[in-house]
């Protein structure tokens, strides 16, 4: 009973379930019930006519029949238009029940003598169908069932109680009727409760599946946006497939191909232009900025550049500090790629000029452009960044470095492609760098046709300066101005993607409001379908719910065979048949109730012969043993305290629920046991006998004759045996998950056995009872429903077809529930895979501790992410020899094979990051053959400031070990590739600012003097050595490492610095070394 009154779903869900879902399931059953009743009435007339009865001689029966046919035809016509009268579903169900009740009472008082067993099977049919086939709630159905039971008992009790005592004892028969009706109510309520629970579960599975699909769609959009923010679409698809395979296989690293090389995602593109741009004077300006100002300034500047790139069909490749470079002609070839890059360069210079004019800050833009071919793609395993490589890329970089601030510096190759679109002037070669001088090719400066028209000291600048005042810091003045550009925040596009929907989300309001009682289930008849009124999500919601309509079982489906309801996939069918069924014990318990009801009825209406008592005793023992086995799992403690010989019972209970073969055998045996005991009382009667009441010398005055046959059971037990057989039919319907074909077989077997018994072998008993009832009235014949054998046959067929309909319905919903659960599991697994993919992709752009800031429930993109750190160790490790190794020829596929080796080097470096001891190392980026990483970035803000120097810089040791491990990896690669590459490493530690910038391609980076000096330590270093600053050398010495002085060297932008080389022997010396002097 606790299951019947379990907590109801949320109001909106419950409302939709009651108004649409429940109706869509039980509405077809209502129509089928009316059809069964009409066919039954017609069959009744046919049987009456075929048996030679004169219908005109019994006007009451004929009137009842005609009224029944007319009334139920009217109800059927009304119900067929129920689609337009949904608000009257409950009253219509009440009318059907009242009509059935009236029909039963009409049959009771027409057709012959009124007896206590009259129309019990009909009322049992009414009671059961009220629960199983009418779209009523449990309370309404229980009220109707109890009212039906009481109406029969009270009417017969009052009517027969006032009659002369010419019939057998009335009270035992009324008690037997009460037991029958009670059993019918309990069986009906049990059936309804299980079906209601299954339907609601299926409904919720469907809703969960819908929510899961929405969540899956959201995750797909998230990962699609993330992937496209890192890579071009053509490359994203290829890499996504590999990541999916990696996640599904549970591999921790990228799968390797059979040739032991890592996958290389690099392609060659010809006919492209490369633009490099650098903000002159930004380094000095950045030193005056707070962390928030620096990140905001960079995001606004590069956001503006991204916007310009989009306008001119250029693809931003990477941001290196304050350097910005992009390519036009990728991934699709463009005929105007050179013009696109030049226009972009001019617009960038123009934007900086406006910024300088508005703020007075002394910064400028230097741009270099070259046209040629590139190798483009992704290398390494972590922190993917789309990049380009080639000699032409190197040349474009040098064009920027040797350019003039405020101008666009182009090569002859680019000039040739401009086709006179822009005027140019020769660049002064004496100002070029050695790389360009070695090439000896002329270069040019593009003349901006709009430069002369612009006033660098425009109105906006004068207005801003006058408003803000002369004392404002240049960095703050510039930040205020840049905010007016309104660059998008990193990952801002994710906020436009629909948030994942939890399973507790209420149903779509539009779907609920659009569903009115007048709305038709058949949307084709409405002038405007629901799909037109709902948005995409709600339309999907309706489509999912529409799939649950019970009428779908008869239509072509991708999942089911419409005839057998078998799953089209053999594996799914096998999985369904082998699935566990914990509810089997409840099926057996309710079947025992039917068996017990049969026992009580036969004890009430028979003289309880010893053989019958013994038979029931044995059957009770078998039933108790079955129930004990089924419920022994819940009685484990009690069983284990008992004899050891019973300790195996809990295991058997689990086997019954999980082994379909054992379950089917026990279920079939249980039903057959109920079948056999329903007719046991007739077994003790002879197959044929002479009825004493049909003898010619018996007159109508012999009313005191006994109701018992000589030496046998009372005649009154015959109709109650019919009723017990009807209960046997009901026992089949209690096994909801029993397969339809097995139910059909059992019902057919039982139908054949009952009809053979009552219409053939023991038909004389019915004739004898009629002879006793109509003693002396030889010419009188009772109505069809007053003759037990005909009454029994008719109701056997009615219950047979009714239960077949319900069995088909049960089978459909059991399979549908299984299907939705399976789909939900698959979608949840796919959603989990997508979530992992999204997380992996995001962590490939951002560090793991930064990623939660931009996705999920903790997403905060209202402000730019920035973080300042007091002590971060920065590493730059390069393979300078790779520049000489790289070449472009047909032998190495124009440099592709060279990049394959670089990919191996970077991928092997990345593999080190997965080791636990390097978990604190964060890869920042790769710049050609240079690897940049940092430690100390996962510390909380302000944490380092509160610790002493030794503790705050303890991660420097991790970075040193990582640098040495990089060298070891490179040695292994040298051994296998027959090369002699050597690593050049620069280390520095100190304060940095970390942040995420760029809306089109968000990028995590770190800035500060510490980063610049670390880069100089690498570029001025020596092959095979780790060069550090004096401060870093002292910190490492305090950790037990040995450093020795290199001396004073000139460092660009820093002047003269005293630097040190680190002793790469990892054996710490213990006390600080005296090498630092």
Report the alpha-carbon distance of residue 172 to residue 178 in Å, rounded. 10
Residues 935 and 998 sit within 8 Å (Cβ to Cβ): no
List of residues 6+ apart from 277 with CB closer than 8 A: 305, 323, 324, 325, 345, 348, 365, 366, 367, 368, 400
Report the alpha-carbon distance of residue 760 to residue 781 in Å, rounded. 19
Q: What are phi and psi of 941, to 5 degrees?
A: -60, 130
Neighbours of 421 (CB within 10 A): 12
* H, E, C per residue of 589-601: HHHHHHHHHHHHH
Residues 17 and 10 sit within 8 Å (Cβ to Cβ): no
Report the alpha-carbon distance of residue 274 to residue 900 in Å, rounded. 22
CA diameter of the chain: 147
Active site residue 1016: yes
Residues 291 and 867 sit within 8 Å (Cβ to Cβ): yes
Report the alpha-carbon distance of residue 187 to residue 191 in Å, rounded. 6
Quick one: DSSP state of residue 517?
A: T
Q: How far is CA 523 from CA 242, 515, 956, in A?
A: 44, 11, 70
Report the alpha-carbon distance of residue 2 to residue 292 in Å, rounded. 60
Report the alpha-carbon distance of residue 857 to residue 841 in Å, rounded. 17
Report the alpha-carbon distance of residue 592 to residue 629 in Å, rounded. 14
CA dihedral 769, 771, 776, 782 (to 10 degrees): 90
CA–chain centroid gap for 748, Å, is: 43
DSSP string covering 382-439: SS---EEESHHHHHHHHHHHTS-TTSEEEEHHHHHHHTTSS-EEE--GGGS-HHHHHH
Q: Tokens 């999980």 map to which residue?
A: 658
Catalytic residue among 1016, 1025, 1034, 1050: 1016
Q: What are phi and psi of 942, to 5 degrees?
A: 85, -10
Residue 215, token pair as written in the block: 């969540």
Residues 156 and 180 sit within 8 Å (Cβ to Cβ): no
Nearest to residue 203, comparing CAs of 16, 29, 1? 16
Quick one: DSSP state of residue 390?
A: S
Report the alpha-carbon distance of residue 714 to residue 726 in Å, rounded. 20
CA dihedral 522, 525, 530, 533 (to 10 degrees): -170
CA–chain centroid gap for 416, Å, is: 56
Report the alpha-carbon distance of residue 334 to residue 314 in Å, rounded. 10
Catalytic residue among 237, 577, 825, 1052: 1052
CA atoms within 13 A on the CB side of 1061: 13
Residues 1011 and 874 sit within 8 Å (Cβ to Cβ): yes
Quick one: DSSP state of residue 1001?
A: S
Q: How far is CA 940 from CA 292, 867, 870, 913, 1005, in A?
A: 16, 9, 10, 21, 17
Q: Tokens 């025992």 map to which residue?
A: 592
Quick one: DSSP state of residue 1049?
A: E
Neighbours of 352 (CB within 10 A): 25
Could you tell me how many residues make up the chain? 1077
Q: Tokens 């046209």 map to which residue?
A: 371
DSSP string covering 910-954: HHHTTSGGGTTEEEEEEETTEEEEEESTTSPTTTGGGS-HHHHTT
Active site residue 1052: yes
Query: Mind telling me the catalytic residues?
Result: 1016, 1052
């Amino acid at each position: 009973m606790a299951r019947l009154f379990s907590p109801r779903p949320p109001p909106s869900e419950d409302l939709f379930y009651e108004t649409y879902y429940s109706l869509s399931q039980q509405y077809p059953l209502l129509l089928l019930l009316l059809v069964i009743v009409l066919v039954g009435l017609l069959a009744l007339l046919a049987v009456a006519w075929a048996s030679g009865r004169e219908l005109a001689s019994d006007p009451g029966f004929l009137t009842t029949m005609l009224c029944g046919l007319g009334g139920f035809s009217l109800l059927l016509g009304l119900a067929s238009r129920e689609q337009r009268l949904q608000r009257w579903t409950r009253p219509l169900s009440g009318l059907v029940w009242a009509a059935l009740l009236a029909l039963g009472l009409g049959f009771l008082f027409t057709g012959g003598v009124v007896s206590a067993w009259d129309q019990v099977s009909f009322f049992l049919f009414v009671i059961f169908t009220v629960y199983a086939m009418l779209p009523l709630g449990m309370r309404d159905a229980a009220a109707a069932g109890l009212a039906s039971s009481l109406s029969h008992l009270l009417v017969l009790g009052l009517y027969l109680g006032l009659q002369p005592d010419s019939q057998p004892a009335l009270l035992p028969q009324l008690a037997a009727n009460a037991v029958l009706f009670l059993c019918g109510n309990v069986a009906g309520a049990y059936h309804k409760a299980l079906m209601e629970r299954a339907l609601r579960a299926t409904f919720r599975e469907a809703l969960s599946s819908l929510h899961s699909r929405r969540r899956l769609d959201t995750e797909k959009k998230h990962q699609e946006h993330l992937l496209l923010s890192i890579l071009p679409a053509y490359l994203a698809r290829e890499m996504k497939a590999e990541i999916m395979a990696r996640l599904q296989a549970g591999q921790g690293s990228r799968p390797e191909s059979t040739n032991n090389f890592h996958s290389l995602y690099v392609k060659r593109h010809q006919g492209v232009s490369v633009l490099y741009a650098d903000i002159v004077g930004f380094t000095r300006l950045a030193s005056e900025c707070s962390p928030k100002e620096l990140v905001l300034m960079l995001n606004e500047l590069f956001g503006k550049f991204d916007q310009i790139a989009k306008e001119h069909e250029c693809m931003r490749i990477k941001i290196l500090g304050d350097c910005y470079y992009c390519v036009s002609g990728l991934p699709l070839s463009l005929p105007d790629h050179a013009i696109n890059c030049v226009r972009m360069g001019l617009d960038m210079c123009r934007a900086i000029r406006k910024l300088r004019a508005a703020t007075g800050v002394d910064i400028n833009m230097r741009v270099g452009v070259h046209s040629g071919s590139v190798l483009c793609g992704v290398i390494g395993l972590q922190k993917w960044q789309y990049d380009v490589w080639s000699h032409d890329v190197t040349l474009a970089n040098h064009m920027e470095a040797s350019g003039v601030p405020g101008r666009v510096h182009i090569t002859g190759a680019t000039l040739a492609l401009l086709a006179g679109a822009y005027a140019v002037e020769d660049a002064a070669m004496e100002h070029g760098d050695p790389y360009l001088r070695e090439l000896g090719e002329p270069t040019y400066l593009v003349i901006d046709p709009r430069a002369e028209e612009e006033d660098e000291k425009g109105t906006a600048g004068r207005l801003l300066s006058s408003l803000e005042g002369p004392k404002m810091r240049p960095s703050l003045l510039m930040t205020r101005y840049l905010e007016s550009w309104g660059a998008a925040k990193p990952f801002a596009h994710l906020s436009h993607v629909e948030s994942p929907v939890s399973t507790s989300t209420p149903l779509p309001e539009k779907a609920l409001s659009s569903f009115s009682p007048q709305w038709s289930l058949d949307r084709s008849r409405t002038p405007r379908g629901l799909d037109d009124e709902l948005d995409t999500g709600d339309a999907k919601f309706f489509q999912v719910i529409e799939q649950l309509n019970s009428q779908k079982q008869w239509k072509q489906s991708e999942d089911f065979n419409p005839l057998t309801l078998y799953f089209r996939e053999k594996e799914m069918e096998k999985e369904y048949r082998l699935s566990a069924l914990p509810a089997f014990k409840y099926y057996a318990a309710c079947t025992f109730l039917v068996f017990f009801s049969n026992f009580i009825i036969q004890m009430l209406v028979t003289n309880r012969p010893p053989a019958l008592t013994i038979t029931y005793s044995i059957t009770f023992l078998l039933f108790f043993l079955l129930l004990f086995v089924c419920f022994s799992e819940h009685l484990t403690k009690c069983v284990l305290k008992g004899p050891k010989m019973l300790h195996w019972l809990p295991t058997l209970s689990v086997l019954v629920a999980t082994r379909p073969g054992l379950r089917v055998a026990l279920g079939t045996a249980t039903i057959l046991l109920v079948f056999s005991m329903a007719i046991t009382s007739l077994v003790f009667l002879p197959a044929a006998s002479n009825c004493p009441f049909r003898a010619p010398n018996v007159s109508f005055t012999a009313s005191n004759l006994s109701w018992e046959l000589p030496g046998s059971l009372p005649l009154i037990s015959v109709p109650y045996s019919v009723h017990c057989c009807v209960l046997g039919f009901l026992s089949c319907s209690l096994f909801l998950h029993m397969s339809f074909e097995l139910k059909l077989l059992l019902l057919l077997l039982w139908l054949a056995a009952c009809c053979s018994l009552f219409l053939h072998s023991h038909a004389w008993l019915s004739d004898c009872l009629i002879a006793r009832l109509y003693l002396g009235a030889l010419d009188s014949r009772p109505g069809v429903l007053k003759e037990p054998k005909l009454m029994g046959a008719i109701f056997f067929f009615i219950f047979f077809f009714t239960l077949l309909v319900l069995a088909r319905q049960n089978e459909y919903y059991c399979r549908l529930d299984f299907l939705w659960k399976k789909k939900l599991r698959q979608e949840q697994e796919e959603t989990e895979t997508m979530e992992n993919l999204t997380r992996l992709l995001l962590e490939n752009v951002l560090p793991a501790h930064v990623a939660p800031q931009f996705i999920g429930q903790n997403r905060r993109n209202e402000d730019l992410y920035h973080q300042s750190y007091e002590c971060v160790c920065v590493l730059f490790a390069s393979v300078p020899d790779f520049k000489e190794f790289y070449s472009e020829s047909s032998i190495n596929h124009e440099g592709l094979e060279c990049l394959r080796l670089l990919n191996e080097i970077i991928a092997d470096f990345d593999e080190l990051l997965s080791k636990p001891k390097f978990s604190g190392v964060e890869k920042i980026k790769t710049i050609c053959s240079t690897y940049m990483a940092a430690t100390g970035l996962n510390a909380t803000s302000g944490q380092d400031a509160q610790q002493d120097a030794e503790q705050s810089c303890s991660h420097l040791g991790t970075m040193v070990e990582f640098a040495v491990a990089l060298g070891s990896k490179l040695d292994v690669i040298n051994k296998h590739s027959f090369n002699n590459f050597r690593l050049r490493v620069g280390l520095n530690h100190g304060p940095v600012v970390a942040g995420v910038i760029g809306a089109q391609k968000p990028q995590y980076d770190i800035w500060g003097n510490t980063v610049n000096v670390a880069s100089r330590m690498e570029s001025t270093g020596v092959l095979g050595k780790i060069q550090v600053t004096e401060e870093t050398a002292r910190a490492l010495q305090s950790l037990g490492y040995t450093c020795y002085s290199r001396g004073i060297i000139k460092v660009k932008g820093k002047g003269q610095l005293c630097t040190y080389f680190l002793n790469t022997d990892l054996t710490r010396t213990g006390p600080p070394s005296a090498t630092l002097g």
